């Protein structure tokens, strides 16, 4: 299958700082691909090299199975992390301006703009100046401007920044519709909850290097045998010092019964029953069972292992 987008051993250095260090990734057509990592991992730098905003020191960016060509970026919609709106323009005028940058005429752009404003609950603000909008509203305007020209690839850098839960849902619904249309989405985030709900494939980078990549379902299946749900009374956080336990994530406080819930991630060679025997010596166990790991657990462990 021909990939939609590839980064091939891409590197970028700023002085003594290696921002991106040999990143390889491949995005399949029609997928939602998550470029994940902690702040400063190299996600935005990687995206800027994809968009030809900055040039890699070495390596190659490829689209549709071949080297990037002039005109490829016209087939891409890009939502940067930083806002780039003209505050004195009205919402409609600003969106017409963005549409014209992508080659759309005003007459063709206006029906699309109206449809998107209604969909994102902004129709009442169409004639307001951008500066009158909240940060969340401005983020929605940027999304509209990103997709008006109906791109084949949509690249979103921290798209949920500044959005409340209601508007996050509007964005997620729009992304699901893009996927149904066969479009390819790549978005960067450090919020694992959003990535887990949306992504088909992920690439996790830390300190500019890839530490984990592949289909999310396969990654979780591969690691699932070592994740356990624990409900117990006592010092759950202290269980991280026990042999065989590599990570403890305490999920909630005392619910009045004296018990709390935690996720335990065990070492690859650890045996669940053996770990349980050690756990019951430290805390009063009410529940201990194997459970599929959450992406947050995978993220934290992968980053910690990479930093060792």
CATH number of domain containing 167: 3.40.50.300
Residue 183: which residues within 8 A CB-CB, separation 6 or more? 30, 151, 152, 153, 154
pLDDT at 18: 95
pLDDT at 241: 93
For residue 299, CA distances in Å to 18, 70, 205 come to 21, 36, 10
Range among 100-109, 223-232, 243-252 with highest mean pLDDT value: 100-109
Q: Tell me the two tokens of residue 269.
A: 């060679």
Rounded distance, CA 253 to CA 131, Å?
42
Vertex 51, ends 48 and 57: CA angle to 5°? 60
- Give a yes or no: residue 215 inside a domain: no
Say yes or no to pLDDT of 87 above 80.
yes
Say yes or no to pLDDT of 249 above 90.
no
The mean pLDDT of the chain is 90
- Give a yes or no: residue 255 inside a domain: yes
- 289 and 144 share one domain: no
- 25 and 146 share one domain: yes
Q: State what percent of residues in the chain have pLDDT above 70.
A: 96
CATH code for the domain in which residue 232 is found? 3.30.70.260
- 121 and 261 share one domain: no
For 217-232, what is each residue's pLDDT tens digit? 888 877 666 888 999 9
Rounded distance, CA 169 to CA 167, Å?
5
Domain boundary among 175, 207, 239: 207
Report helix angle 216-223 to 295-307, nearest 10. 80
pLDDT at 255: 54
Report whether 206 contacts 306 (CB < 8 A). yes
pLDDT at 290: 85
- 134 and 226 share one domain: no
Say yes or no to pLDDT of 254 above 60.
no
For 164-187, what is each residue's pLDDT tens digit? 889 999 999 999 999 999 999 999
Between 295 and 115, where is the model more confident? Answer: 115
Residue among 188, 192, 136, 143 nearest 164 (CA): 136
For 31-61, what is each residue's pLDDT tens digit? 999 999 988 899 999 999 999 999 999 999 9
- 167 is in which domain, residue-wise? 5-207
Say yes or no to pLDDT of 190 above 90.
no
- 148 and 120 share one domain: yes
pLDDT at 253: 62
Considering only 15-24, 136-145, 287-296, which range has the smallest mean pLDDT?
287-296
Tell me the three state secondary structure of residue 67: strand
């Amino acid at each position: 299958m021909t990939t939609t987008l590839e980064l091939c051993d891409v590197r970028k250095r700023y002085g003594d700082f290696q921002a991106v260090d040999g990143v390889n990734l491949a995005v399949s057509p029609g997928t939602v691909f998550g470029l994940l990592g902690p702040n400063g991992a190299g996600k935005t730098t990687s995206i800027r090299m994809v968009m030809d905003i900055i040039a890699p020191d070495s390596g190659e960016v490829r689209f549709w199975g071949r080297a990037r060509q002039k005109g490829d970026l016209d087939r891409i919609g890009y939502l940067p992390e930083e806002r780039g709106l003209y505050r004195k323009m009205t919402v409609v005028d600003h969106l017409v301006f963005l549409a014209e940058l992508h080659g759309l005429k005003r007459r063709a752009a206006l029906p699309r703009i109206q449809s998107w404003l209604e969909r994102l609950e902004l129709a009442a603000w169409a004639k307001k100046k951008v500066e009158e909008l909240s940060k969340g509203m401005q983020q929605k305007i940027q999304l509209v401007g990103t997709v008006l020209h109906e791109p084949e690839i949509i690249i979103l850098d921290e798209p949920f920044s500044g959005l409340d839960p209601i508007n996050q849902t509007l964005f997620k619904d729009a992304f699901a519709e893009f996927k149904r249309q066969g479009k390819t989405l790549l978005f960067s985030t450090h919020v694992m909850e959003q990535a887990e709900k949306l992504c088909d494939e992920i690439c996790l980078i830390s300190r500019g290097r890839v530490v984990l990549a592949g289909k999310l379902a396969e990654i979780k299946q591969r690691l699932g045998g070592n994740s356990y749900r624990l409900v117990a009374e006592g010092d759950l956080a202290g269980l991280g010092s026990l042999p065989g336990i590599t990570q403890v994530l305490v999920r909630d406080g005392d619910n009045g019964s004296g018990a709390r819930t935690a996720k335990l991630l065990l070492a690859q060679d650890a045996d669940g029953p053996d770990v349980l025997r050690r756990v019951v010596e430290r805390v009063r166990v009410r529940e201990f069972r194997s459970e599929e790991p959450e992406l947050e657990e995978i993220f934290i462990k992968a980053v910690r292992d990479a930093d060792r």
